[in-house]
Amino acid sequence: MKGRLTLGHELSSFSPCGDTNEFWILAEDELYDLYFYLTKNKKPYTPIFVRIEVIDKGKSEDGFAADYKSTYEVKTIVEARSISDIDCN
């Protein structure tokens, strides 16, 4: 899957290209490290572009994740970089 990833305090959100839904993300430290490296010196909650392989864990019933359509567990990070206007075209 490819799309926009946004991480921050009480936020872990993925919005796939071509989809209006947002999904809660469960990921290892590697993805968080990449995100914060790519968004260093940018305003909080700046999205990045990612291509990831995920497992759909279903809708969460509690916590912040319950506000999202489903929860995705990241299995593989294929690509992570600063986002551009043409990424989802």
Stretch (H or E) spanning 76: strand 71-82
Helix (H/G/I), strand (E/B), else coil: 32: helix
Q: What average pLDDT does this structure show over 30-55?
A: 95
Predicted pLDDT at 70: 96
Q: What average pLDDT does this structure show over 77-84?
A: 94
Instruction: Report the 10 Å Cβ neighbour count for 74.
Output: 19
The CATH classification number of 2-82 equals 2.40.50
The domain spans of the chain are 2-82
Q: Which DSSP symbol is given to 66?
A: G
Predicted pLDDT at 73: 96
Q: How far is CA 3 from the centre of its chain?
A: 8
